[in-house]
């Protein structure tokens, strides 16, 4: 997978998650996806990175929505 193709797919992940979670701030979704994506920067094989990013971001968003006093959840995202 080329870097450009991976970045395009990550953008598509952001759009899908914004659609899937309309009550969650889009800027926060983008921050979560980009933060998760950075975790995969040094992997040797990038073929499944967008899929893994989407799965991890969905879990992160769902966890934050389940928190009763969750605002944007970015402080815990960065701490992880």
pLDDT per position as a tens digit, 16-69:
999 999 999 999 999 999 999 999 999 999 999 999 999 999 999 999 999 876
Note the pLDDT of residue 80. Answer: 46
For 7-59, the DSSP string reads HHHHHHHHHHHHHH-TTS-HHHHHHHHHHHHHTTTT-S--TTHHHHHHHHHHH
Domain ranges of the chain: 3-79
Note the pLDDT of residue 39. Answer: 96
78 pLDDT higher than 80:
no
């Amino acid at each position: 997978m080329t870097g450009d193709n991976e970045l395009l797919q990550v953008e598509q992940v952001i759009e899908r998650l914004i659609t899937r979670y309309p009550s969650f701030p889009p800027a926060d979704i983008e921050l979560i996806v980009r933060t998760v994506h950075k975790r995969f920067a040094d992997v040797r094989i990038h073929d499944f990175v967008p899929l893994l990013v989407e799965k991890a971001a969905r879990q992160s968003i769902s966890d934050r929505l389940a928190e009763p006093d969750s605002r944007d959840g970015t402080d815990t995202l960065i701490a992880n």
